[in-house]
Amino acid sequence: MSLLPKHKLAELADRHDLYQRSVQNTETEIDFILETWNGLRRRPAELLREDFCGTANTACEWVRRDPGHFAIGIDLDREVLQWGQQHNVSHLSSEEQHRLELINGNVLDDLQERSDIVLAMNFSYFLFRTRNELREYFSSVHAGLAKDGMFFLDAYGGYDAPRELEETRDCDDFVYIWNQAEFNPIDSCMICHIHFEFADGSRMDKAFSYYWRLWTLPEIREILLEAGFRRADVYWEGTDEGTEEGNGEYQSREIGEADAGWVCYIVAQT
């Protein structure tokens, strides 16, 4: 009898589970959204639409937070929605599940319902690679928001962003690998992959791949205004004085640091 395990850890792992555990932090994301909304509006936000929702992890966190919260998640990929339904939505109470709707569709589709908040997180909108495509998406978000609605996006950049490189980060029982495989300086488009590596040396290569444009903050803000938003503010992360690392606190700022790598939020108001 062989004592060697039959299966490599990579074969036993689930890519959506690994993604959620390594890339997302839905609690801090919803904390930021609520704090920002409550600081700028006198009424509570009710309906949140999560564009490019994938496993709908953030939409689930929204409905869990408050019995007055409703959410819509939209994604083109039926398989990822089914995974989200099975692993995230099914863990909500039946009352919470009634306040959540998943739509297998395109974020460009016109929805009847007007949302208080629309989210486009983890740079998903970078897949629109021309100004016209991005403006069309931002215009459809604008049209889908309430009169006092807000659009929350994130963005990344820094002098390492347009480079071909691999970065690793230790997660509990696996290593997350971010691979900027190809960058074309002529159109600013790039191919990136997420790989995962396990303690037995096995790997899940190209668990996720992206072909997108590395947009700059001034471009994104200009296009948001062209699409009809009244303002588009950048929320930049503060620095912990002890470690010189980001402190997880995001404030509206006009001047940021020229770091190697940064992630920020953009909040656009109708």
Ligand X SMILES: C[S@@+](CC[C@H](N)C(=O)[O-])C[C@H]1O[C@@H](n2cnc3c(N)ncnc32)[C@H](O)[C@@H]1O
Least distance CB 261 / ligand X (angstroms) = 18
Beta strands 203-213 and 189-198, pairing class? antiparallel
Instruction: Supply angle C-alpha 204, 206, 122, rounded to 5.
Output: 110
One of 13, 23, 146, 191 touching ligand X (CB under 6 A): 23
Count of C-beta atoms within a 10 Å radius of residue 179 = 18
From the list 146, 115, 131, the residue with the least C-alpha distance to 53 is: 115
Residue 107 interacts with ligand X (CB under 6 A)? yes
What residues contact 22, with CB distance under 8 A and at least 6 apart? 169, 171, 174, 176, 194, 196
Among residues 8 and 129, whose Cβ is nearest to ligand X?
129
Among 36, 62, 72, 75, binds ligand X (CB under 6 A): 75
Alpha-carbon distance of 156 to 215, in angstroms, equals: 9
- The least distance separating ligand X from the CB of residue 180, rounded to whole angstroms, comes to 15
For ligand X, which stretch binds (CB under 6 A), given 59-67, 117-125, 158-166, 221-229? Answer: 117-125
Contact between 252 and ligand X by CB under 6 A: the answer reads no
Of the candidates 182, 204, 186, 187, the one whose C-alpha atom is nearest the C-alpha of residue 195 is 204
C-alpha atoms less than 13 angstroms from C-alpha of 149 in its C-beta half-sphere: 22
Q: Which of 86, 90, 106, 251 binds ligand X (CB under 6 A)?
A: 106
- Residue 54 engages ligand X in binding (rule: CB under 6 A): yes
Binding mask 121-150 for ligand X (x = CB under 6 A): xx-x--x-----------------------
76 binds ligand X, rule: CB under 6 A: yes
State yes or no: residue 153 binds ligand X (CB under 6 A).
Answer: no
Where along the sequence are the contacts to ligand X (CB under 6 A)? 23-24, 52-54, 74-77, 80, 106-107, 121-122, 124, 127
